[in-house]
């Protein structure tokens, strides 16, 4: 993975306004790394020593509640920055990042953050836009937890995953990374038993197909109705 090509970054929003010599400089300072599925990239509360760009795979962002429960806050897809604690004026990571599938990342020491934001057009703008979008998504999740019934929350969760990472397969739209019923329970603030009951019922009704760590949404329009989204706006 040495001597990465500039074309890796030219179309990614944080770097799309830079010329190739600037991208070469950025790549020459980057540390590439592969993470196997299930590997922790960094832990909540750890000193934020590096910031990251995901080239391939999916990152699962996990928060721990004051009572010790783990909650999946969101998923991050290829081409996105993560671990950007400096953008939050933090010197520790606010959450744990886990490889939800095999991942390839680039990372840089946090001491370069000020240099990147000051000297590379578009980097700061895109970083803060990304941060704003994630905070907005988490705010929506909090609203869902406070106002929606369990069935609506689980349906909304599956829709969000297929919108973010879905790929077309013969039966419908498959979530492109391994996902378990336990993961869904941690995303929706409900129990594993309830998630299992709902998915089993939806399978019988032809709305989803699920196997070990794999979910295909076969009737997305039915999920939209179940999520309550069709009655909004």
* 42-84 pLDDT tens trace: 999 999 999 999 999 999 999 888 888 888 888 999 999 999 9
Compute the distance between CA of residue 11 and CA of residue 92 in angstroms, rounded to an integer.
30
How many independent structural domains does the chain possess? 2
Both ends of the chain: CA-CA distance in Å? 47
Burial-class residue 95 by CB neighbours within 10 Å (0-12, 13-18, 19+).
buried
- Model pTM score: 0.80
**Would residue 110 count as lying in a domain?**
yes
Which CATH number does the domain housing residue 29 bear?
2.60.120.10
Q: Which domain holds residue 213?
A: 148-231
Whether residue 202 sits in one domain with residue 133: no
Whether residue 140 sits in one domain with residue 202: no
Q: How many helices (H) and strands (E) does the chain have?
A: 7, 12
Please name the residue that has the structure tokens 């907005």: 136
Residue 2 has pLDDT above 80, yes or no: no
Please name the residue that has the structure tokens 């680039």: 106
Whether residue 161 sits in one domain with residue 98: no
**What are the tens digits of pLDDT across the range 207-233?**
999 988 899 999 999 999 998 865 443
What is the side-by-side order of every strand in the sheet holding 166-169?
A: 166-169, 172-175, 214-217, 208-211
Domain boundary (145, 164, 184) is at 145
Average pLDDT on 163-184 reads 91
Q: What is the pLDDT of residue 232?
A: 47
**What are the tens digits of pLDDT across the range 146-161?**
778 999 999 999 999 9
């Amino acid at each position: 993975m040495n001597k990465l090509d500039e074309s890796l970054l030219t179309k990614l929003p944080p770097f799309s306004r830079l010329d190739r010599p600037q991208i070469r400089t950025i790549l020459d300072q980057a540390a590439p790394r592969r993470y196997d599925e299930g590997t922790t990239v960094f832990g909540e509360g750890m000193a934020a020593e590096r910031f990251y760009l995901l080239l391939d795979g999916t990152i699962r962002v996990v928060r721990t509640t004051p009572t010790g429960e783990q909650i999946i806050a969101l998923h991050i897809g290829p081409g996105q920055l993560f671990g950007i604690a400096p953008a939050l004026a933090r010197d520790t990571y606010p959450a744990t990042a886990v490889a939800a599938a095999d991942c390839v990342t680039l990372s840089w020491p946090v001491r370069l953050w000020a240099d990147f934001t000051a000297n590379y057009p578009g980097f700061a703008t895109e970083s803060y836009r990304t941060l704003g979008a994630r905070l907005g998504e988490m705010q929506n999740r909090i609203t869902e937890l406070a106002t929606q019934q369990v069935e609506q929350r689980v349906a909304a969760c599956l829709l969000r995953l297929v919108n973010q990472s879905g790929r077309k397969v013969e039966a419908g739209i498959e979530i492109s990374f391994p996902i378990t019923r336990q993961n869904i329970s941690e995303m929706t603030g409900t129990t594993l038993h309830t998630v299992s009951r709902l998915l089993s019922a939806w399978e019988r009704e032809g709305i989803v197909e699920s196997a070990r760590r794999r979910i295909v949404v076969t009737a997305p329009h039915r999920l939209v109705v179940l999520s309550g989204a069709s009655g909004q706006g």
